[in-house]
Structure 1
Amino acid sequence: MPTRGHLLTEQANPASQNLDQLTPLEFVDLFNQEDQKVLAAIANAREVIAQAITETADRLRQGGRLFYIGAGTSGRLGVLDAAECPPTFCSPPEMVQGILAGGRAALVKSSEALEDRARDGAAAMIEHQIGPLDVVVGITAGGTTPYVQGAITAANEQRALTIFLACVPSQQVPTNAQIDIRLLVGPELLTGSTRLKAGTVTKIALNMISTGVMVQLGKVYGNRMVDVSVTNSKLFDRAVRIIADLTGLEREPAADLLSKSGQRVKLALLMHWTNLAPEAAQALLDHHHGQLRTALNAFQVTPS
C-alpha cells in the first residue's frame, strides 16, 4: 500500500510536539486553541456546503434519498446524523441513511480493515439500489479510503448526485464526485487521529447539510422544528411549547390542539391559523408539498 504520510491529516502538528509533557490544563488550552481552526474550515467551505444543501434538497423533493457512506469515525458520524433525522424532522427512515463499512457491528467495534475494499463500497450502492434521484455523500477524512472511492464511482455510474467530504486538499487527493467539500483543519494534535478535529468538522458539516436540507423541505417554520416526531414525553412537551409559543395559546389548549391534529405540530398550527378541520388543513398542506408558510400565504393568513 502506498505511503500516506504526505496527507495533511497524517502530518505531525508542531504545536503539540511536547503533548506528553503538558499539564491537563495546558492540554485543554491547546486542544481548544486547535479547535478554533474547525470553524474557519467550515467558513472557507461555505459556498460548496450551500451548493450541497440546494442540490440535495432538490433531489429529495422529487422523492430521492440521501446516503452517507464511510468507514471508521467518518462512517459512524454519517450513521449518527442519519439516525437523528427521523425524530427531529419526522422524516421517513429511508430518506436519510448511513452506510458504514462493516455494518452495524462496526458501530461499536473497530473494523478499519474493511475500508480497504473498494468493491464493498460499490456493492453497497447496488444493494441500496442507488438511482438518479439519490444523493451519496462519501465521507473520508484523509480522502483515500477505497471503500468510499468505490461507492462514489458506482454512484456516478447510476447518475446519482455524489458529494465528497474530506479534510485534505484536492491537490493531494482528487475526486470524481460532482460536489467536492474540503474541510482543511490541519494536522491533528495527536498525529493521524482524525477522530479529533477532522471528526469535529465533519460532524458540523453533516449537521449543516441535513438541517439545511430539511429547512428547504419545509420541516421548519421560523426556527422551530414543526415536523418534530412526538414519540416521548420530552418531545411531547417540546411540541406543546412550540404551539404555545407560536400561537400565544396557554399550555392546555395548545396540548388539546396537538391532540386534535394527531400529534402533528405543523398541522396543528395550520388548523389554528386557518380554522380548518384536520382533513382540510392536511389537504392544504399536501397541496403545498408540506410547506407551512406557503400554505398560509395561499390561504392569505398572516400569523399574529
Structure 2
Amino acid sequence: MLTNAVRALAAALVLTGCTVHEAGSPVPDPAMSEPITATQALGDLATFDACDLVSAPDLLPLGTPVKTTPNALDNCTFTLDEDGLIEIGHLTMVTPEQLTEWKPIQLPKRLDLATYLAGDDKCGVVLRFVGGEAIQVAVSFTKAREGKACVVATATARMIAARISQGKPVGRAHQEHGSLRAIDPCTLITPDMIAAVPVTGAPRSGTARHDCRVGGTDGPRLTVSFTADKSVVVRPDNPIRSTIAGRISLTQSRDGKCFVLTEHVSLGRAVLPNGHEQARVEVVAPGDACASAKAVAGLLWPKLPSR
C-alpha cells in the first residue's frame, strides 16, 4: 500500500508529466512505442515471404496446420484441422476512416489490430502499419465453430505483430528464373491494351505491386494481376482452353466479368509442388468482355519474361 508521502510524490509527478513505477513493475521500452512502417518491417513489399511471418509450429496451439498452395504472391495459406483455412498476407490499404469503424486495438510499434469480418465460420482481421498498409489474416471453416474463426485469426495476427515488434528480418520469397514476383504489371500496360477494353484513367498499382487496375470500381475496368495458384489442368478440347500469343490460356466468364489466365513459372518444389505463378487479365465491360480480355492478353503475354 502506498504511504501518504509516496501518494503525494506520485501526484506531483503526474502534474509535472512524469510517471511513477511501483517496485517490481516492468518499465516500458520506449523503442516499442516507435512506429514501424510496412517497408521497415517487411522489406520490399513485392518480394517478402508471407510464410516467414508465421510457421506451422507457431500455429499448433490453434489446431493442426498444414501449409498449402497460396492463391496470391503475397499470401501464405495453411489448412487447419479437417475443415479450416488460414490465409495470411494479401497486402491492402486501410484508411483511417475504415480503421475507426473497425474499432482497432493498438499494439507495440503502433500496429493496429482490427476485425473487419466476424462470424462463426469465417473471420477477417487486419494488422495495419502507420502508413495504412495492412496484412490481412482471413480464417474460414466449412462448418460453424462458435466464434473459433476470430479466435484463430486474432491469435495469428498477434503472433505476426510480436514477430514484427521484435525486429526480425522477413525473408524473401522464392523466385524461379523468369519470375513475375518483382514486376509491377502497371509497367507492362500500354495504351493499346487500355483501348482494347475500352477504359479511361491511369494505371494504379496495388499495395504489393502484384496487380494493376485501370478504371474505377463502377463501370468498365481492366485489371492485370500476377498471382499464384495450383497448376490448372484441362483437356485440350475444353472450350475454356485456347492458345493466345503462343501460350496456353484459360478463359472464364462470371458475374459480368471475364478472366483470361496463363500459367508462368513454378513456385518451386521447395515451396510447394504443383504451385505456379499466373498472369491474369480481368475485364469488366459492356458487350463482349471476353473479346476485350483476350485482346489484352494477346498484347500482354509477349511482354512476360521467358520461362
TM-score tier by shorter-chain length is under 0.3
When Rg is computed on C-alpha atoms for both structures, the one with the higher figure is 2
- Larger strand share, 1 or 2: 2
- Give me the TM-score of the superposition, normalised by structure 2: 0.27
- Give the structure-1-normalised TM-score: 0.27
Q: Which has the higher contact order (CA 8 A, sep 6+)?
A: 1
The structure whose residues are more often helix, as a share, is: 1
